Every structure is written in C-alpha cells, then in structure tokens.
Amino acid sequence: MTADNLTAHGFAKGRTQGATHGTGSWRTPPDVLDDLRQIVGRGAWAYDLAATRESSVAGPEDYRWAGPGHPERPDALAPGVHPPGASRSAADVLGLAIARVGCARHDTVWCNPPYDLWPAFGRVLVEAASTRRVWSVLFVFARTDTAAWHEIAPLAVARAYRCGRVRFLRPDGTRGKSAPAPSVALVFGPERLRTTRGAVTTSGGRRWHVELS
C-alpha cells in the first residue's frame, strides 16, 4: 500500500473511529504522554512504532519512527493490511530500529496504532519484550470484552487505565471530541514494572488506575 492509502486506512498516529471522528489520523495529547512517562517511570520515548514524521513522539529523525511517508518503512508496520507474515516483518523492522537507535534499558518504545490493527502491533511488542528485552507502551481502547484483549492484555506487565475519555488531537493540533471508548496503556517489558499500583494521580492532576502483573 502507498503512504496515502495507509493514512486513509488509519495508520497515522492514532486510530480509526468511523463516523465519530471521521478520520484515522489522530495524535496523542502531550498530557497523556507526560502522565505515562511518570507512571511507567522510564526514560525518553526512543522509537514511535506507528507515526508520521510530524507526529512521531520520539523525534523526526528517520531512525526513530515508522509509518506513512517514511523513506524506508512506509508500510512494513501495517500488519493486517498485508499478506500473512506482515507481523513478523514488523518485528524484524522493530528489531533493526531498536538496534540502530541503541535503546538503553531505561528507554521505551511508544505505539498508538490504528485501533483496528492493534492486536497485531501488540503481538509484535510482546515478542520484542521477550526476545529483545524491549520496553514499550501500547495505547489503545480498553475493549475488555474482546478476544484480542484476553489474548494480549494479560501479557502486559502493567495496565494503566485513564479516568475519563481522551480527546485526541487532529493533525493541526486542535482537540477532537471525546473518544468513543475509555483508553488504556498496556506496558510490555522483560521484567516486572516497579511503579505504584491502584489509584494514581499524576503531577498534572489527572487520574489513572494501574494494575500490575
């Protein structure tokens, strides 16, 4: 697929929300990123797994993101819109990217994927945690009644549920309407996460509920 097709499909930062928002290209609000860095207690976002150059939370350098418009990786990380095996190629691309970025053990991969494709991205991050000792945060809807949730969420070392609905950002930086479902951050890593369990209020005054495995 071309970068344009991927963007139309919802691959750019954020998710496809159908009629509620009318576009799949949405960005994560800075307050969400700040809160999760505080809750997870790790370093900078080293790599953005589902981004454009403009939306990458890890920086615009080509070795810090993958997604539409990337000169080398415009579609390798779009499992579900390619033939079987795409998720494996996603794992390979992520591995190469991590090696090039040189992620320190305290750095973290960020992923706010198109939500209709989130299970495939989740499987990639689970594998990265177990085989490459990569830490990552996957920010998705808390669809706890789905088969994908029961497959992937229990493999996270932590699950951070945000109180209230997120208002994601449009490409021009303005906030959209409240999301149609609650959000959760699934944290994957090679060991247990040392952070506060239960109700958490961040320095910005926002409330989360954190479960640890």
Is 96 a residue whose pLDDT tops 80? no
Instruction: Report whether 190 contacts 150 (CB < 8 A).
Output: no
> What architecture does CATH give domain 3-212?
3-Layer(aba) Sandwich (3.40)
Q: Model's pTM, two decimal places?
A: 0.80
Give the model's confidence band at 65: pLDDT under 50 very low, under 70 low, under 90 confident, else very high: confident
Is 64 a residue whose pLDDT tops 70? yes
Is 42 a residue whose pLDDT tops 90? no
Output the pLDDT for position 82. Answer: 39
> How far is CA 33 from each of CA 71, 85, 99, 181, rounded to the nearest angstrom?
26, 31, 24, 18
Question: Domain residue spans in the chain?
Answer: 3-212
- Mean pLDDT over the full length of the chain: 77
Give the model's confidence band at 125: pLDDT under 50 very low, under 70 low, under 90 confident, else very high: confident
Is 105 a residue whose pLDDT tops 60? no
φ, ψ (nearest 5 deg) of residue 120? -65, -40
Output the pLDDT for position 80. Answer: 38
Output the pLDDT for position 83. Answer: 36
Is 200 a residue whose pLDDT tops 50? yes
